[in-house]
Amino acid sequence: MPELPEVEVTRRSIEPKLVGRVIAAVHTGKPSYFFLTPPRELQKRLTGRKVTGLNRHGKYLLAKLDDGSRLLLHLGMTGQLFTQGASSVRLLSATARASLKPQEQPQFTPDKHTHLRLTFADGPPDVIFRDVRKFGKVKLLDKNESDARLDKLGPDALEATADQLFRAITGREIAIKSALMDQGVLAGAGNIYADEALFLAGIQPKKPAGRLKKAQCEALLKALQGVLRRSIETGGSSISDYVTPDGSDGGYQDERRVYARTGAPCYACGTAIKRVVIGQRSAHYCPQCQK
DNA sequence: ACCGCACCCTGAGCGC
DNA sequence: TGCGCTCAGGGTGCGG
């Protein structure tokens, strides 16, 4: 599932395929929950625009256009943003995977989950946004138009300071795990990296956020930024649908210490990793190492 | 103000 | 073989 590292890896690889190019055509799927700006309107307003930048805040991508408007992209749970020619079985449906011959290179062709495809004046490659569960979002913001989603975001998790974290959670009774996943506290952490950071900082995920000492906030933020940076280096975590924009898998899933390791021995002490539900989400931790 | 929870969506995995 | 059920999860919005 795309969290900050996956979105940043995507940003870095898509940026050179997007910035400086002029959009020639916009192909979309049907109107849905996915399109905060209706497909017709996207087609009308994006065609002919030149992309001038691609920024990230938390898990959001913002493509800047030459008329001052901005295209907001969110990958949701299963969003895949990639370039034409990407090759990965993760881009195929289960039935398409099953009918692949053993040595055959899986080649992506637009399917019913392909909601947005941009073609460019200078030819291929196209930029494609595919999302099976449609939890992703596309919205075109006018010049100077603000967006409530963006306004609510806290500081980007990679740039935040321990002091900002400490101030955002003082007095709050919610579990520290929930606080870390609250995008208004820090923008960018999701389930995987919140679990991993709490393990590295030795903090129990259910601990009330407001009871963390300043030093614990420092340790936690340092751990979080460490795992985020390391994950970016390895190409992100390919746990379910995530692929890097050239179609390759990330590598961070192999470095997980607790996430989705329920029952497996803790690498530090051998105790079985536990799974509990916190705020409707699964949390994984070592009952021995995290107090 | 704060928090828990239902909901959006679809495919995988499982029991029968 | 295939049906029906449950689960996963980011973010939003509502109700307590």
* pLDDT given at position A43: 95
Residues A291, A284: Cα–Cα separation, whole Å? 13
Domain boundary (A151, A173, A194) is at: A151
In a domain, A41, yes or no: yes
pLDDT at site A12:
93
pLDDT value of position A235: 82
CA–CA distance, A141 with A25 (Å, rounded to integer): 19
The per-residue pLDDT for A33 is 85
* Protein residue minimizing CA–C1' distance to C10: A76
What's A281's domain CATH number? 1.10.8.50
By C-alpha distance, which of A96, A86, A87 is closest to A127?
A86
Same domain, residue pair A129 and A170: no
Active site residue ranges of A: 2-3, 59, 281
What distance in Å separates the CA atoms of residue A58 and residue A7, rounded to the nearest whole number? Answer: 8
Is the same domain home to A8 and A130?
yes
Å separating the CA of residue A149 from the C1' of nucleotide C12: 10
Residue A3 has which token pair?
């969290």
User: A206 lies in which domain range?
Assistant: 162-285
Residue A291 lies in a domain: no
pLDDT < 70 positions in chain A = 87-107, 237-249, 251-254
Residue where a domain stops, chosen among A119, A151, A183: A151
Q: Give the total number of structural domains in chain A.
A: 2
User: Does the pTM exceed 0.75?
Assistant: yes
A173 C-beta less than 7 Å away from strand B: yes
For residue A106, the model assigns a pLDDT of 62
Question: Do A128 and A168 have their domain in common?
Answer: no
A106 φ/ψ sector (left φ>0, alpha ψ -120 to 50, else beta) = beta
Q: What is the pLDDT of residues A134-150, one digit of tens each?
A: 899 999 999 989 898 89
